Structure 1
Amino acid sequence: MPILLQRPFTAISLALALTIAGGGAALAQKKYDTGAGDTEIKIGNIVPYSGPASAYGTVGKVMGAVFSKVNDEGGIKRRKVNFISYDDAYSPPKAVEQARRLIESDEVLLLFGTLGTASNTAIQKYVNGKKVPQLFVATGATKWNDPKNFPWTMGWLPSYQSEAHIYAKYLLKEKPAAKIAVLYQNDDMGKDYLKGLKDGLASDPKRIVAEESYEVAEPTIDSHVVRLKSASPDVIIFFTTPKFGAQAIKKLGEMSWKPLTIICNVSASTATVMRPAGLENSQGVISTSYAKDASDPQWTDDAGVKNYRALLAKYLPEVNPADASAMTGYNMATTMVEVLRRSGDDLTRANIMKQASSLKQFPQEGLLPGVTITTGPDDFQPIEQLQLMQFKGERWQLFGEVISGELGN
């Protein structure tokens, strides 16, 4: 029987063993900032559940449902997501109040999916001063892609300027002589859209023959639509939020006025805009999309849409799957879950921003084929592709190719 000779455990061997053990412990060490721990991740959110943009409240509800599902399935590395969502009624001062409450009282790790251009503008400097991630804001303003000056703020939606640039490309090609009228919301959102359109039409700026802006506090925009008609445009473009988009399309029908009509993506919901406006009035309206429409038969057997429908059926049966805001909330929240998973046990605010800015062609299951999420340390614009669509019958129908809406292209 062989004899195993044991060598003396020298001081050098002991030192080496301790070094290896210490290194392993360092590698396994968990890192937390305020709002994170072994059992919980606190996430703050602000959405207009009331007020003139309350149709967007669905976004926050579906986000919450996604996190509930994650928690029911064991959480993220056994940590439950504590999703704290407050109403700001689409009011910037209220948004500031709620942001302070979330960061200073609730002590959240990060803000996620805060909705509205004006509201996010109101809190951006404060949040960046606190070095709290303001991640995947639910607004397409171009300003969210500014990592140099606001390294803690990142958008998610395609930028409004990029989207409007696509409409300009379409009109220059398909309607080269058409006169254009524009109705836009008199805030950062509407002005961003308008700038994108004008930049896209820079070669022929006189094409825009009329502009009307409205205030979000106005009960109706009917008078603005009437004034635009007096300019006899061939094309009318609505850069509005859902309530006013539905009013505008309905008013066109009441006036028996049939110009080529374009409505921005944020107001292209079948459930909250097109149906309330009247299906007969909505025929032929053009918009863009980057996400799947759950009411479209082509996605009946699509795995991503099936997962989306199953989530709503279990957690929010009262929400219509055809509501584009519901799909937006679903896609944004599943992106956030991916970032948290990639962050592992390093749940520091700096690492979360690092992971959020390191997404490479992430194939979000609710996005259209060919549309992926890509970010980098110098590019905080996750989605830059869209596809044109037209409303026919009871739903939107996609046409053309997926187009890069990146400004300058």
Structure 2
Amino acid sequence: MGSSGSSAPGTCSFGRGCAGPGIGELDRCRPTRRLFKYIHRKIGGASMAKTGPRLGVLVAFLVTLAACGGSTGGTTATDVGVTSNSILLGNTIAQSGPAAAYGTIANAENAYFTYINNSKGGVNGRKINFKILDDAYTPANAVTLTKQLVEADQVFAMFSGLGTQTQTSVREYLNTKKVPQLFVATGATTFMADYSQHNWTIGWQPPYQGEGRIYAKDILANHASAKIGVLYQNDDYGQDYLKGLKDGLGSNSSMIVDAESYDVTAAVPTLAAQLSRLKGKGVDTLFIFATPAFTIGSLAIRTALGWAPLTYLNSVSNPAVYMRIAASKGAKLDGVVSVAYIKDPTDPQWANDDGMKLYKTVIANCSTCKVDDGFNIYGVAVAWTMVDVLTKAGSNMTRQNVMNIAATQLNETNNPFLLPGVVVKTTSNDHFPITQEQVITWSANGWHLQGSLTDERGTIT
């Protein structure tokens, strides 16, 4: 099950209506039937003792051919999860638990697929069906639910599964099964850098290490005497950001005077202990590498401590709607620094932008999606890339072909939801789709772009 090249139930590459691999089923597939009769005539006069083994092999071959969609010129190659009129994608994401804020991403992705289904009839005549399951940001749940999607639901591919730990926990399984793990919703560098070991997996967003390097460049250029403190989630996600920052600082990494970690299962108020230690060590520049709930809490706690360090915030927690929640809890935010690569739906400069208009059209049909939530435009943007890949696959809608396109053939310069100049690109030697980001600063209740895009392509291998 799930092997590349098998046809969807109810399809046959030699003719219509070939339902499956029994001898009787061959009669439903006319070209195969004619070939079978020809072989039967040729060997029919010989004794069974001589022809039996060969006939058995030929029959087995023809049965396999009919079942697996053996290709001839002009035929359509399909795979598990693909029918003549549909493609089934699967997803696990946190729609409950400590990272539930991210759950809206999948709903926004589904809204874009629905838009494509309704406005364009799907992709190459096939509508995209998207099954979303809540893993609560827990690796054990992600494993169970991913197996359900692959083995019971028989999805064609997994798309935009969220979380560094959760997606790492299912990567080996999906690669063993040769099920595409496409555009994981995490910037953990391993999902791009380790493609040679896991070539059924690809990320999408900028790698966390690259983002950390961009922050380091900003520090060295504008705050060369900074005393840096870091608050980070104590798993691969937080450690990846910290590594990028250290690598970017290079010989100046001693500027980091302390790094405090927290557990994702901890209560947000307990972060006061880590933040107090950072303050006590004279930190004047704070980096927060955290998910949204912990970011909001950290911003409010540092203000309550009477502490006003220059603050850098990772991009995966910076949508304006969450910054405003932090402000409502007493956080002082002016001067906070982050990066962006996607258009901000709260930024008035995009009010008349065609991409933003399309985004708002899509999200208007998602009852649970807030138009101002930056996670939703992320979801629509990555869904746009997914549709682009499926479109490029054309009549060769197999797992292998779609995986090859995603990992080695992307060259998007026109994704309408990304900042101008941001490219989504992969080649046979480069599996980092997005590597560009632009520094942003918070003031007057919103984010403002600073300078130009910084590209970290080629700095991480």
* TM-score between the two structures when normalised by the length of structure 2: 0.81
Q: Are 2:144 and 1:104 equivalent residues in the alignment?
A: no
SS where residue 65 of structure 1 aligns?
Answer: helix
Once the two structures are superposed, what CA deviation does each residue of 1:203-247 show, in whole Å capped at 9, x if it has no partner? Answer: 112111111000000111222212211111110000001111111
Q: Are 2:256 and 1:205 equivalent residues in the alignment?
A: no
Give the Cα–Cα distance (whole angstroms) in 2 for the partners of residues 207 and 368 of structure 1. Answer: 31
Q: Which amino acid aligns with 2:106?
A: G
Select 2:299's aligned residue among 246, 249, 252. Answer: 249
Give the Cα–Cα distance (whole angstroms) in 2 for the partners of residues 403 and 50 of structure 1. Answer: 34
Which residue in the other structure is 1:140 paired with? 187
Select 1:28's aligned residue among 74, 82, 85. Answer: 74
Give the Cα–Cα distance (whole angstroms) in 1 for the partners of residues 412 and 384 of structure 2. Answer: 15
Q: Structure 2 matches for 1:29-44, cutoff 5 A?
A: 29-44=75-90
Which residue in the other structure is 1:269 paired with? 319
Q: Report how many residues are paired.
A: 383
Select 1:185's aligned residue among 224, 227, 233. Answer: 233
Report if aligned partners of 1:222, 1:247 keep a CA contact under 8 Å in 2: no
Give the Cα–Cα distance (whole angstroms) in 1 for the partners of residues 166 and 156 of structure 2. Answer: 20
Give the Cα–Cα distance (whole angstroms) in 1 for the partners of residues 368 and 86 of structure 2. Answer: 28
Greater Rg, structure 1 or structure 2? Answer: 2
Report if aligned partners of 1:182, 1:238 keep a CA contact under 8 Å in 2: yes
Which residue in the other structure is 1:347 paired with? 397
SS where residue 287 of structure 2 aligns?
Answer: strand
SS where residue 151 of structure 1 aligns?
Answer: coil
Offset at residue 83 of structure 1 (A): 0.4
Offset at residue 407 of structure 1 (A): 5.4
Q: Percent same amino acid among aligned pairs?
A: 41
Give the Cα–Cα distance (whole angstroms) in 1 for the partners of residues 392 and 457 of structure 2. Answer: 27
Which residue in the other structure is 2:9 paired with? none
Give the Cα–Cα distance (whole angstroms) in 2 for the partners of residues 197 and 139 of structure 1. Answer: 17
Offset at residue 317 of structure 1 (A): 4.5
Q: Greater relative contact order: 1 or 2 (C-alpha under 8 angstroms, separation 6 or more)?
A: 1
Report if aligned partners of 2:96, 2:103 keep a CA contact under 8 Å in 1: yes
Report if aligned partners of 1:161, 1:407 keep a CA contact under 8 Å in 2: no
SS where residue 284 of structure 1 aligns?
Answer: coil
Q: CA RMSD in A?
A: 1.3
Give the Cα–Cα distance (whole angstroms) in 2 for the partners of residues 318 and 231 of structure 1. Answer: 43
Which residue in the other structure is 1:174 paired with? 222
Q: Are 2:123 and 1:72 equivalent residues in the alignment?
A: no
Select 2:138's aligned residue among 66, 91, 101. Answer: 91
Q: Structure 2 matches for 1:305-384, cutoff 5 A?
A: 305-313=356-364, 315-356=365-406, 357-384=408-435
Select 1:127's aligned residue among 168, 174, 177. Answer: 174
Give the Cα–Cα distance (whole angstroms) in 2 for the partners of residues 40 and 312 of structure 1. Answer: 22
Which residue in the other structure is 1:386 paired with? 437
SS where residue 307 of structure 1 aligns?
Answer: helix
Offset at residue 87 of structure 1 (A): 0.6
Give the Cα–Cα distance (whole angstroms) in 2 for the partners of residues 26 and 122 of structure 1. Answer: 39
Report if aligned partners of 1:165, 1:407 keep a CA contact under 8 Å in 2: no
* TM-score between the two structures when normalised by the length of structure 1: 0.91
Select 1:194's aligned residue among 236, 242, 252. Answer: 242
User: Gapped runs of 5+ residues in structure 1?
Assistant: 1-24
Once the two structures are superposed, what CA deviation does each residue of 1:251-302 show, in whole Å capped at 9, x if it has no partner? Answer: 122223111000000010111x201110661211000000000111110110
Give the Cα–Cα distance (whole angstroms) in 2 for the partners of residues 206 and 322 of structure 1. Answer: 39
Give the Cα–Cα distance (whole angstroms) in 1 for the partners of residues 161 and 146 of structure 2. Answer: 9
Report if aligned partners of 2:161, 2:184 keep a CA contact under 8 Å in 1: yes
Q: Which amino acid aligns with 1:400?
A: G
